[in-house]
Chains A and B, each alone.
Chain A
Amino acid sequence: MPTVSVKRDLLFHALGRTYTDEEFDELCFEFGLELDEITSEKDIISREQGDTKAEGASDVILYKIDVPANRYDLLCLEGLVRGLQVFKQKMEAPRYRRVSPASSEPQRLVITEETTAVRPHAVAAVLRNITFTQERYDSFIELQEKLHQNVCRKRTLVAIGTHDLDTISGPFTYTAKPPGDIRFKPLNQAKEYTAQELMSLYKTDSHLRHYLHIIEDEAVYPVIYDSNGIVLSMPPIINGDHSKISLNTKNVFIECTATDLTKAKIVLDMMVTMFCEYCEEPFTVEEAEVVYPDGRTCQYPVLYPLTITLHESTEHIAQLLTKMCLRSEVMSDGEQIEVEIPPTRSDVIHACDIMEDAAMAYGFNNIPRTTPRTYTIANQLPLNKLSELLRQDLAAAGFTEALTFALCSQEDIADKLLKNISETRACRISNPKTAEFQVARTTLLSGLLKTVAANRKMPLPLRLFEISDVVLKDESKDVGARNNRRLCAVYYNKSPGFEVIHGLMDRVMQLLEIKPGQGNGYHIQAADDSTFFPGRCAEIFACGKSIGRLGVLHPDVINRFELTMPCSALDIDIEHFL
Chain B
Amino acid sequence: MADTGLVETLLQRVEKVDGGLDSQDVATSLGVDHQAIVGAVKSLQALGDVISAEQRSSKHWELTGEGCEIAEQGSHEARVVSSIPEEGMPQSQLMVERLEDLVRDKLLLVQKGQASQLEEKEKNELKKRKLLSEVTVKSYWITKGSCFSTTITKQETELTPEMIASGSWKEKKFKPYNFEAMGVALDCGHLHPLMKVRTQFRQIFLEMGFTEMPTNNFIESSFWNFDSLFQPQQHPARDQHDTFFLSDPAQAHEFPQDYLERVRKVHSEGGFGSQGYKYDWKIEEAQKNILRTHTTAVSARMLYKLAQQEKFTPVKYFSIDRVFRNETLDATHLAEFHQIEGVVADFGLTLGDLMGILHQFFNKLGITKLRFKPAYNPYTEPSMEVFSYHEGLKKWVEVGNSGMFRPEMLLPMGLPEGVTVIAWGLSLERPTMIKYGINNIRELVGHKVNLQMVYDSPVCRLDS
Query: Measuring CB to CB, which residues of chain A are less than 8 angstroms from any residue of chain B?
Result: 1, 29-32, 34, 68-71, 153, 157, 260, 262-263, 306, 347, 349-353, 355-356, 359-360, 364-365, 367-372, 374-381, 383-384, 388, 391-392, 394-407, 427-433, 436-437, 440, 447, 450-451, 453-455, 458, 462-463, 469, 471, 473, 477-483, 485
Contacts and interface: CB of A to CB of B under 8 A. Distances in A.
Give the residue among B199, B219, B273 with the most A Cβ atoms within 10 A: B219
Contacts of A384: 202, 212
A71 B448 CA distance: 42
A349 B274 contact: yes
Interface stretch (B26-34, B80-88, B164-172, B250-258): B250-258
A471 B218 contact: yes
A96 B150 CA distance: 110
A478 B260 CA distance: 14
Centre residue among A263, A351, A356 by max chain B CB count within 10 A? A356
A462 B190 CA distance: 12
Contact of B244 (A263, A369, A437): A437
B407 A350 contact: yes
Interface residues of B, number: 99
B93 to A, nearest CB: 77
Contact of B249 (A397, A398, A480): A480
A379 B449 contact: no
A367 B376 contact: no
Nearest to B451: A455
Contact of B351 (A1, A364, A383, A437): A364
B407 A352 contact: yes
Interface of B: 187-192, 194-195, 199, 202, 205-214, 216-221, 234, 236, 240, 244-255, 270, 273-279, 289, 291, 314-316, 322, 324, 326, 334-336, 344, 346, 349-353, 355-357, 359-360, 371-376, 378, 381-384, 404, 406-408, 422, 444-452, 454-455
Contacts of B220: 479
Contacts of A360: 374, 382
A525 B198 CA distance: 37
Given A378-B210, A397-B189, A359 B351 contact: yes
B447 A440 contact: no
A400 B382 contact: no
B372 A371 contact: no
Contact of B255 (A371, A378, A478): A478
* Residue in B205, B352, B408 whose Cβ sees the most chain A Cβ within 10 Å: B352
A353 to B, nearest CB: 6
A374 B291 contact: no
Given A380-B211, A433-B326, A436-B335, 6 more contacts: A365-B372, A372-B422, A391-B195, A401-B190, A403-B444, A429-B247
Contacts of B335: 405, 407, 436-437
Contact of B190 (A347, A372, A395, A454): A395
Given A403-B194, A454-B448, A479-B221, A469 B244 contact: no
Contacts of A471: 218-219
A374 B346 CA distance: 7
B449 A454 contact: yes
A400 B376 contact: no
B213 A381 contact: yes
Given A380-B212, A406-B322, A483 B217 contact: yes
Contacts of B448: 454
Given A356-B381, A372-B349, A376-B209, A407 B324 contact: yes
A364 B449 CA distance: 41
Contact of B357 (A347, A372, A396): A372
